[in-house]
Structure 1
Amino acid sequence: MPDPLSPDDAWLGLDLGTQSARCVAVSGTGQVLATAARPLDSHRDGPRHEQDPEQWWSALTGACREVLTHLDPRRVRGLAVDATSGTILLADAAGTPLTPGLMYDDGRAVQQAAEVNETGSAVWQELGYRSMQPSWALPKLRWLLEHAAPATAAGTRLLHQADLITWRLAGHQVASDASHALKSGYHLAEERWPDKELSELGVPHSLLPRVVRSGSVLGTVCAAAARATGIPEGTAIVAGMTDGCAAQLSAGALTPGAWNSVLGTTLVLKGVSPHLVRDPGGVVYCHRGPGDSWLPGGASSSGAGIIAQQFPGADLELLTARAAAAPGDAVIYPLVSRGERFPFRAPDATPFVLGDPAGEPERFHACLLGVAYLERLCFDYLDHLGAPTDGPLTLTGGGTRNHYWSQLRADVLGRRVSLPEQAESAIGMAVLAATSSGASLPDAADSMVRIRQELLPDPERTAACQPRYLSFVNALTQRGWLDPMVADHVHGKAQE
């Protein structure tokens, strides 16, 4: 047999995002061989957000066909699919959609979420996330059961967004993965559906898919799907993950204590733990990872979006150079919109300024520093929960385009950081697909994830930043947003 991580083999990552469907082909040594995307349309109406599930399939087949025109299909060994977290639909026994896809941020199920949280409180507490939001899959399923005419028809199935694609690829229904099933109420620790609670909520067990861990082989591509996509018949279909977890794989954050910090409009942290991390504050929750790993994470309402808000149309390269030359010590709490959700929950939180930035460059630097301090607080909060945080750290997202900012974050954190060449969900799925060859996930990532740069912290700057960081933490505590126990933990760590 050829080397499973050979440059001659190709692994496909299929990604269903909000605005597009993507297919990426990656060699066993990390070379991106081909990539293609097709747009997706959405319909929004107040809190409702829907897509046509048939478009998911047509867009992905188009992207796959384009990719397969750029390489020999005989090189393709396997594929995996990621999709948006909490997006669901109902389908009939043949896999034909009966409802639109209710998207990951569809917020119509407010009443149903309250019922779900009352009925399933003990389970959600046990699993560490404490409660479900209206946009989670189970409240939306309850809404469909109450309002969609076909919901109670014989043979009706609940499908997560990725499930429709794997069904079409295999030619029959295959298992869902535990990552997508999390927000439907799947009991990740006991690896079963909580039948008692679901029964009380009026959810028939016959509606629910079988669930396996991510990385399991679900089946192979059937003849009809091969004709539609160009992917060879018999190609292995590997159980995927949600898009956020897939992006974590693409960054190579796969060993206990490893983390991927994604700085886009908001800041998102995803890590690896050998045990389930439970959060009494309900701001961190865990996916089940491949093998025996757990993937804790949290998403802030703060992040790089503060730059677009505060400096619209600015020349950011020039502004960065001026800020680096005269940084000042002011700090702006970088909340993008009202209310914070990680590393603490404060629905009424608003931005504030510590110090008096003199002019635009200092105000810009205060925003950069605010994000870096918030990021450090996120890690201190995770450490407070007992999550391992001392492994490798990768930085991804649009914020990494600013080299000065990445270095500043490394300095504030006081730790080495790595910046991958490619960090997108589809590549993470190609890495996961490669495990069907028998390679472990860490081995696949070592071979396929390429690091373009490593940054070392400046110890003097790390020490100089600490007093201002503690002042930032104190300001959050004084406003009643940050738990004093967490603040005490932060101060204790700073003295070590």
Structure 2
Amino acid sequence: MSTTADVPRSPVPVVAGIDVATAAVRVVCADARGRVLAQGRAPLPQPVRGAGGHSEQDARAWWPAAATALRQATAELPGGGREVVAVAVSATSGTLVVTDTDGEPVGPALMYDDRRAADLNAKAQELGARRWRALGLTVGPTAALGKLVLCASRALPGRLVLHTPDLLGLRLTGHPVATDWSHALKTGYDPLAGEWATEVFDAFDVPGRLLPAVQAPGTKVGTVSAAASAETGLPVGCRVRLGMTDGCAGQIATGAVRPGQFVGVLGTTYVLKGVTRELVTDPAGALYSHRHPDGWWLPGGASNTGGEALADIDPARLPGLDAAADARGPASYLNYPLRREGERFPFVRGDARGFVVGAPRDEADEHRAALEGVAFLERLALERVQALGVEVTGPLHAAGGGSRSALWTRIRATVLGRQLRVAERAETAFGAALLAAAGTLHADLSASAAAMTSPGRVVDPVEGERAALDESYGRFVARLRARGWLDDWDA
């Protein structure tokens, strides 16, 4: 396990963030300045995916993996873990499991991408249409709401239906804990009204006992028990605070936590997330919002394109292709590198397909056009949120694997006409640690982010390429409009 080089000689207060991802549990321990002093990792069994959209995981592995990762991390700390004063858990959105009252799963977890409740979710969309419209939210095929209805039929008296962090919170404290309004959003919690969508659950005959109390992320919900301390290395009495979903925690890790701040995450797909003071709804349905721990809102959307545009390229060749594409300058043709069927952000069209206008002159030209196409999509996304009345201030925070490419980052900055601030850390576990620090090491989340996140590397637009890229972007948008894919924007 790696740690920073400047580990203090004597223990200082530390917080721990836990990320329960699909394939592994990761733990990060950081001090009040954001220095990562220890880390841990333990694998999880791969989900079992089958017919009918089923996607399950053996949830009995969650707690042992979390305990193992925590033991690894706490053993690395100068004080052996006794300096950890708070812990928070983040996980994938929409994963549920039925447990007994001790938090022991009685069946497999229904994963975030399980589609078996698609019909129930479609019915829930109808039953709560007015509520979802006010939230700007769509109950999609994989939403946890329908999975909760399915789980309710198995949840005999004395059993619980828990999100992943709820289960770990129970095991850490020794008692059931409230859920946070981020993990509960797609399960049917209304963060605008501050209540569960009871009209929907009543129609499905879901017992009220299965709808837990909901509190803000960062809220203290208990302390580490003696039993959990023995398994994890965390000290007895360490505060347990609520986390957020993995996407929200990753945003927080970049430092984009105040109104006007946005982050563009360029991973396999492109995701834009930010902070607004008021709830902003998108009539086209491409954008939806989580609730910020401090009561603001976190609008965001995820595209179906991004780093996948380079999926067929041997990673070892990318530095050479970047250098060649950098030397040749702006591409001679357009490429919208959508490799899947349909687009979901910044516009929603199931019939959208990738396209090219023209042909590459050489391999460097082809590579450059793919990078520019994703950057054009990012600009369209920012223009969409601004058209909805959202203020975007300062540099755009940049995260994800694509942000490691210096060329791609310069292209993005030039297409956007604004600076990009490349985040030093954007891990979910680090974001969870910031939530653990809010109210513990620092007054609130904004103070945690200010003290614990790095300002990052600033990348400026290349002024000599602005005009050519602006002209190409105009042609890109014109082609989208000609295909009718932006019609909903003008409705």
Output aligned runs, 1:63-102, within 5 Å.
63-71=69-77, 72=79, 73-102=81-110
Q: Paired residue for 1:118? A: 126
Please identify runs of 4+ aligned residues in structure 1 that moved more than 6 A: none
Q: Paired residue for 1:413? A: 416
Whether 2:63 is the aligned partner of 1:57: answer yes
Output aligned runs, 1:436-447, within 5 Å.
436-437=439-440, 438-447=442-451
Does structure 2 conserve the Cα–Cα contact (< 8 Å) formed by 1:7 and 1:28?
Answer: no
Q: Paired residue for 1:37? A: 41
Query: Aligned partners of 1:205, 1:277: CA distance in 2, in Å?
Result: 30
Does structure 1 conserve the Cα–Cα contact (< 8 Å) formed by 2:284 and 2:488?
Answer: no
Q: Post-superposition shift, 1:391? A: 3.9
Q: Paired residue for 1:491? A: none
Report Cα offsets for 1:27-86 as digits up to 9, x if no partner.
111111111111111212131111111211110100000111111122211111000001
Query: Aligned partners of 1:249, 1:136: CA distance in 2, in Å?
Result: 23
Report Cα offsets for 1:352-380 as digits up to 9, x if no partner.
01232211110110000000000000001
Report Cα offsets for 1:168-196 as digits up to 9, x if no partner.
11110010000000001101101111212
Output aligned runs, 1:242-281, within 5 Å.
242-281=245-284
Output aligned runs, 1:334-349, within 5 Å.
334-349=337-352
Report Cα offsets for 1:408-450 as digits up to 9, x if no partner.
1011111111112221000011111111224221221111111
Q: 228, 232, 246: which one pairs with 2:231?
A: 228
**2:293 partner SS:** coil
Q: Paired residue for 1:127? A: 135
Change (3 A) 1:442 1:329: farther
Query: Aligned partners of 1:418, 1:439: CA distance in 2, in Å?
Result: 25
Does structure 2 conserve the Cα–Cα contact (< 8 Å) formed by 1:413 and 1:462?
Answer: no
Gaps of 5+ in 2: 1-9
Aligned length: 476
Query: Aligned partners of 2:308, 2:364: CA distance in 1, in Å?
Result: 17
Does structure 2 conserve the Cα–Cα contact (< 8 Å) formed by 1:372 and 1:409?
Answer: yes
Equivalent position amino acid for 1:106 in 2:
D
**2:380 partner SS:** helix
Whether 2:138 is the aligned partner of 1:136: answer no
Q: 110, 113, 128: which one pairs with 1:105?
A: 113
Report Cα offsets for 1:9-41 as digits up to 9, x if no partner.
211010000111011111111111111111111
Query: Aligned partners of 1:457, 1:9: CA distance in 2, in Å?
Result: 40
Does structure 2 conserve the Cα–Cα contact (< 8 Å) formed by 1:186 and 1:193?
Answer: yes
Query: Aligned partners of 1:140, 1:248: CA distance in 2, in Å?
Result: 26
Equivalent position amino acid for 1:112 in 2:
L
Does structure 1 conserve the Cα–Cα contact (< 8 Å) formed by 2:301 and 2:345?
Answer: yes
Q: Post-superposition shift, 1:7? A: 8.8
Q: Post-superposition shift, 1:460? A: 4.0
TM-score normalised by L of structure 1: 0.93
Change (3 A) 1:54 1:451: same
Change (3 A) 1:122 1:172: same
Equivalent position amino acid for 2:318 in 1:
L
Q: 16, 22, 44: which one pairs with 2:20?
A: 16
Q: Paired residue for 1:237? A: 240
Query: Aligned partners of 1:337, 1:219: CA distance in 2, in Å?
Result: 44
Among all aligned residue pairs of Structure 1 and Structure 2, give the percentage whose two residues are the same amino acid. Answer: 43
Report Cα offsets for 1:119-164 as digits up to 9, x if no partner.
11111111111x2112110011223345xxx32x113322111100
Q: Post-superposition shift, 1:313? A: 5.9
Q: Post-superposition shift, 1:95? A: 2.6
Q: Paired residue for 2:198? A: 195
Gaps of 5+ in 1: 1-5, 489-496
